[in-house]
Amino acid sequence: MNSLTNTNYNFPKQSNLYHGKVRDVYSIGDDILVMIATDRISAFDVVLPKGIPFKGQVLNQIASKFLDATSDIVPNWKIATPDPMVTVGTRCEPYKVEMVIRGYITGSAWRDYKKGARSICGLPLPEDLRENQKFETPIITPTTKADEGHDENISKEEIIAQGLVSKDEYEQLEKYTYALFKRGTEMAAEKGLILVDTKYEFGKKDGKIYLIDEIHTPDSSRYFYSEGYEERFQKGEDQKQLSKEFVRKWLIENGFQGLEGQQVPEMTDEYCLSVSERYIELYEKIVGEKFIKAKATDLETRIENNITKFLTNEL
């Protein structure tokens, strides 16, 4: 099982290295970021102990395609993808909130609703919702962007009152979020999928707003299959979906929700390969192309060589 779970390179003009939950981000000078999508996988804000083969390639290539497909809506940070697991882009100052948008009630929103919550991020919810039900119109439920630990739900009013984002800029982020979700929904529908919910991150450079990080990947989004959705919904059955929710459900069934004292269940090679297959399935379904596995032997050297070559030519 070849998977990339950690990197520690030293590139020309490198000024910083940040290890995120699943990405390693290298700052090159003041203006360039090199983002490596590793094969790490996280759930409940915990990085799981084993990597998932080809997961990084899947996420990076899906994000790259959707960044290109939405660049007419909002400028984005991407400059190039010199390796299947790498995106090089413009360094922006990130906003301290993530724009989560939901077209259906499911996942954590449904878990909270089932416990009695009737509002989310200051937005009231009707009394008679059922799991996986479509909202009349999509709702934006932002979260604070935590460097460590859990992101927290927050309302638009709190964001503006706390000065996290100005009123005018927040309303522009809302417009971009609705437009991106509409585009993503249309592209998913063409492939027989429903884009259920997702999140977008934005940053600012030279007074201009940019879309940053990944977009419409199975780590940041949830997809249902269109075929059979209504029938399963009417029967109260689980939806057939392509997202990371199947990993969360497996963890919950095995007694882990990221709470203190809980142990991550054993991740066998067979389980990791089954997760890899699910990620590849989503790639092929949402992109509409066969997934071509990049050469996986000596991943570290391949990635280092491709990044160094790109930076040497560009800088």
Residue 45: what pLDDT?
Answer: 85
Write the DSSP string, 239-283.
Answer: PPEEETHHHHHHHHHTT-SS-TT--PPP--HHHHHHHHHHHHHHH
Q: Which CATH number fits the domain that encloses residue 297? A: 3.30.200.20
Q: Establish if 4 belongs to a structural domain.
A: no
Note whether 117 and 212 are same-domain residues: yes
Tell me what pLDDT residue 243 has: 76
**Same-domain check for residues 117 and 207:** yes
Task: Reduce the DSSP state of residue 200 to 3 states and report it.
Answer: strand
One domain for residues 210 and 302: no
If we measure between CA atoms, which residue out of 20, 83, 75, 27 comes closest to residue 219? 20
DSSP readout, 119-150? Answer: EETTEE--TT--TTPEEEEEEE--EE--SSS-
Shared domain for 135 and 103, answered yes or no, is yes
Contact (Cβ atoms closer than 8 angstroms) between residue 84 and residue 78: no
Q: What pTM was estimated for this model as a whole? A: 0.90
- Running along the chain, 315 residues long, what does each successive block of 10 average in pLDDT? 92 94 95 97 92 96 97 98 98 96 95 95 95 97 77 93 96 98 97 96 97 91 95 95 84 94 95 93 92 92 96 85
CA distance 175 to 12: 38
Q: Are residues 115 and 154 in the same domain?
A: yes
175 with 283, same domain: the answer is: no
Collapsed DSSP state (helix, strand, coil) of residue 232: helix
Residue 223 lies in a domain: no
Spatial separation of the C-alpha atoms in residues 296 and 29, rounded to whole Å: 30
* Residue 177 resides in a domain: yes
Same structural domain, 40 and 84: yes
Q: Is 116 part of a structural domain of the chain?
A: yes
Asked if residue 260 belongs to a domain, the reply is: no
Q: Which domain holds residue 61?
A: 14-93+267-314
User: What per-residue confidence (pLDDT) applies to 146?
Assistant: 66
Residue 295 is given by DSSP the state P
CATH number at 153 reads 3.30.470.20
- Sequence-distant (6+) residues with CB within 8 A of 13 are 28, 29, 311, 315
Q: How many Å apart are CA 31 and CA 290, to the nearest integer?
A: 34
Number of domains comprising the chain: 2
